[in-house]
Amino acid sequence: MTEPSTEQADDSVITSVSNGVGRIELNRPKLINALSQDMVTHIDDALQAWRDDDAVSLVLVTGRGERGLCAGGDIKAVYNDIVAGSDENAKFWNREYKMNFAISEFPKPYVVIMNGITMGGGVGISGHGSHRIVTDSTKVGMPETGIGLFPDVGGTHLLANAPGELGTHLALTGQPVGAGSAIALGLADHYVPDAQIPDLIADLTAGGDLDTVIGKYTAEAPADELAEAADWINECYAGDEAEAIVAALAAHENPDAQAAAELIATKAPTSVKVTLAAVRNAETMTLAEVLEQDYRVAVTLTELPDLKEGIRAQVIDKDRNPKWSPASLAEVSDAQVQSILTTDHAEKVFS
């Protein structure tokens, strides 16, 4: 017997329940479903409501539009809040990180379709789920060092647990990967061709058995595009000093390693050093501890010049020519990095 559908909609998120499936549809397709504070609130509220609701046996998360699940947080809003001098960014990150943790501990299957662009905050709403499905079009990444931020939303927890130093490579360069690498690195679980996604969603929302439906559509994943790079990545990214890593990459005979050094050199130096330290810390932290660290770092970085400058260069003026301060890795001291990682603020994620 088909259960009645209940639906709640606003401009940015559509939630509904039917046939035991709680659906969360991100609905800002023109912005590749970039997350706003209202969206985070709606998602978190839905998860809290469905935890103990017998009418919901699984959650299905998708993004509307053809370009991807979610491009990350709404960085124009972040920029505007920095300019205004408000505390809205701190409120956003606090609620977002609570939501990330709620996903990781959700007691029912959490199925997410990671098609197209799935970056930054998009990794936060997908990477901690139980059933993470990637497709031909998937591009998963944490590009935050390019705007003066760092891989937050528990991203360093995911990357620190990737094989070898592959996660460190993605964290510092911000480069995205496709379906094959996403699965190999532990960022996803199943590959389903894009053309099969509508049928998979239809079968799930009709009340089909989760394992049976996923098994029906899962195919052999594309090749891991980082497999051949693993040797030089593991060699060059070993250690805890960003300068040494960049020097090793630049000196390596592999042109891809040299290109990685050049790419890291374009990122915010403070972000690169903070990101490396955060990844190393995350190797021995729980997700909750990482998210608490994320909050300390994110709030502190809003008080420094690079985040505002990075967003300006990427999406406000679009000149792609940020002026980082400090301008080089050598100018960023270990003491500064540790201060950013450890400075407490008035609020905490878990209090």
pLDDT in tens, 157-167: 999 999 999 99
Contact 275, 150 (CB under 8 A): yes
Tokens linked to 315: 């999406």
% the chain with pLDDT above 70: 97
In tens, the pLDDT along 284-326 reads 999 999 999 999 999 999 999 999 999 999 999 999 999 999 9
Q: Is the pLDDT of residue 154 over 60?
A: yes
The C-alpha atoms of residue 261 and residue 268 are separated, in whole angstroms, by 13
Q: Is the pLDDT of residue 327 over 80?
A: yes
* Catalytic residue IDs: 73, 121, 144, 152
End-to-end CA distance of the chain: 44
* Confidence category of residue 1, pLDDT binned at 50, 70, 90: very low
Q: Average of pLDDT values for 217-239? A: 97
In tens, the pLDDT along 193-204 reads 999 999 999 999
Q: Is the pLDDT of residue 349 over 80?
A: yes
Q: Average of pLDDT values for 154-182? A: 98
Q: Average of pLDDT values for 245-270? A: 98
* Confidence category of residue 9, pLDDT binned at 50, 70, 90: very low
Q: What is the pLDDT of residue 346?
A: 82
Give the amino acid at 187: L
Q: Average of pLDDT values for 48-54? A: 97
The dihedrals phi and psi of 73, each to the nearest 5 degrees, come to: -75, 160
Give the 3-state secondary structure of residue 305.
helix
Q: Is the pLDDT of residue 2 over 50?
A: no
The dihedrals phi and psi of 184, each to the nearest 5 degrees, come to: -60, -35
Q: Is the pLDDT of residue 6 over 70?
A: no
Mean pLDDT for the chain overall: 95
DSSP states of 182-240: HHHTTS-SEE--GGGHHHHHHHHHTT--HHHHHHHH--PPPP-TTGGGHHHHHHHT-SS
Tokens linked to 189: 């679980």
pTM exceeds cut of 0.75 = yes
Q: Is the pLDDT of residue 184 over 70?
A: yes
Tokens linked to 15: 């939630």
Cα–Cα distance list, 163 to 113, 240, 324, 328 (Å): 23, 17, 31, 29
Q: What is the pLDDT of residue 10?
A: 59
Q: Average of pLDDT values for 69-95? A: 95
In tens, the pLDDT along 127-146 reads 999 999 999 999 999 999 99
Sole residue written with tokens 């998979």:
200
Q: Is the pLDDT of residue 7 over 80?
A: no
Q: Average of pLDDT values for 104-118? A: 98
